[in-house]
Amino acid sequence: MAMAALRREGRRFAPLISPRPITAVRSPPLAPSHEDEGPIGVRYVSTQVVRNRMKSVKSIQKITKAMKMVAASKLRAIQTKAENSRGLWQPFTALLGDLPSVDVKKNVVVTISSDKGLCGGINSTSVKISKGLHKLNSGPEKETKYVILGEKAKAQLVRDSKKDIELIITELQKNPLSYTQVSVLADDILKNVEYDALRIVFNKFHSVVSFVPTVSTVLSPEIVEREAESGGKLGDLDSYEIEGGETKGEILQNLAEFQFSCVMFNAVLENACSEQGARMSAMDSSSRNAGDMLDRLTLTYNRTRQASITTELIEIISGASALEG
Amino acid sequence: MASNAAVPFWRTAGMTYITYSNICANLVRNCLKEPYKTEALSREKVHFSISKWTNGKPEKPTIRSDSSEE
């Protein structure tokens, strides 16, 4: 009886009054919060805290699972568009070639990234490659400028390459991606930026688990003329007949602009696919981690619960034996 | 190869080939019949926010939000 009263008094008094080093608190087996100090002095975490933690981890797991489903459906929608857009730039590469090793004075690096986060490491790899290109193309009389698409690359590049930024474009994915949108964008870039070579950095979508960072190079018409003199693919340009009363320079100008627009379209679509794919795998691994965490928390919870039941039993029994003896 | 040939009218008006082809595409879209026409026009909306930077300082971003190229 006395023990019961002591128990109800609460744990703070018990260590002072009771000869035994047990914090005695009355509690039903499914415990509300209490802090247990077992007979050996081992401290257990409160079950209420563990239960709250389990609830929040479970809801996080549900959210990440839902995000994965959303990303999967968005991916399906964009993927056909991206694959169809590949046919736009392939003839250009067949005609004009893709010369990443071209040595020009004015380089412009167009970095394509996403606006939203939680998509794994793809934006960091794009930024890393852009910085690498910048370094590769630096030297006397050479300059490299950035054109940035997307919030994530903006955040990273603004930190250390402020002076080299030419244009920043965001909110690209408000409407579903279409050629009109990207071509207006490409037009704006062409109007605002002087370039000899445009290097577009994006993540090419090979499959749901593989996104390869790629660089596509688009040359300005003057550089195409210059490279044509050194032979190779571009040197064969003269063997084409030109109809319609336009000159070669005029046609090269049109082609260069159109090539940029097509390459940009494909790049933006592929990057969007890669973003959704990366988000799928990131959310998937996060759901799995949440599941593991939940398992560990359940074990802790059960251990705590059993320990508190054991403690209570010990108290009752020792109390009873104290009364008898 | 000096280009003495007449430059096409749109080039002299300051348009790039991309602008020219977008206007032509819009003209073709406007030729569609009714249900397809509204679908096509709504599909081709443009929206992005562009901000030019000079010397490490951003200028005010302008939002290019036209329903489609005029």
Helix (H), strand (E), coil (C) string for A19-88: CCCCCCCCCCCCCCCCCCECCCCCECCCHHHHHHHHHHHHHHHHHHHHHHHHHHHHHHHHHHHHHHHHHH
Region A98-118 average pLDDT: 86
Q: State how far residue B32 is from chain A, nearest Cα, in angstroms.
A: 17
Looking at beta carbons, which residues of chain B come within 8 Å of A180? 22, 25, 44-46, 68-69
On the question of pLDDT at B68 being above 50, the answer is no
Percent of chain A at pLDDT above 90? 39
Superfamily of domain A62-230+250-284: ATP synthase, F1 complex, gamma subunit (3.40.1380.10)
On the question of pLDDT at A193 being above 90, the answer is no
Tokens encoding A18: 């009771």
Contact A192 B58 (CB under 8 A): no
pLDDT at residue A60 in the model: 96
pLDDT at residue A17 in the model: 43
Q: Which domain holds residue B51?
A: 2-66
Contact A169 B69 (CB under 8 A): no
Q: Which residue of B29, B46, B65 is the best one to mutate when testing the A interface, meaning the one whose CB has the most A CBs within 10 A?
A: B46
Q: Which residues of B touch A (CB under 8 A)?
A: 1, 3-8, 11, 16-19, 21-22, 25, 43-53, 55-56, 58, 61, 63-64, 66, 68-69
On the question of pLDDT at A2 being above 70, the answer is no
CA dist A285 to A57, A113, B2, Å?
Answer: 14, 22, 61
Q: Half-sphere exposure (CA, 13 Å, Cβ side) for A163?
A: 1
Q: Which of A58-62, A80-84, B46-50 has the lowest mean pLDDT?
A: B46-50
Looking at beta carbons, which residues of chain B come within 8 Å of A191? 16
Q: State how far residue A254 is from chain B, nearest Cα, in angstroms.
A: 6
Tokens encoding A294: 């939940």
Q: What pTM value is reported for the model? A: 0.79
Region A214-219 average pLDDT: 88
Number of folded domains that form chain B: 1
Q: Which residues sit opposite A203 in a β-bridge?
A: A213
For A9-39, what is each residue's pLDDT tens digit?
444 443 444 444 444 444 444 444 444 444 5
DSSP string, B2-70: ---SPPPHHHHTT--HHHHHHHHHHHHHHTS-HHHHHHHHHHT---EEEEEEETTEE---EEE--SS--
pLDDT at residue A288 in the model: 97
Contact A258 B18 (CB under 8 A): yes
Q: What is the mean pLDDT of chain A?
A: 83
On the question of pLDDT at A43 being above 90, the answer is no
On the question of pLDDT at B27 being above 70, the answer is yes
Q: Which residue of A159, A171, A190 is the best one to mutate when testing the B interface, meaning the one whose CB has the most B CBs within 10 A?
A: A171
Looking at beta carbons, which residues of chain B come within 8 Å of A174? 47-48
DSSP annotation of A255: H
Under the banding of pLDDT at 50, 70 and 90, the label for residue A286 is very high
Tokens encoding A296: 């560990």
Contact A192 B52 (CB under 8 A): yes
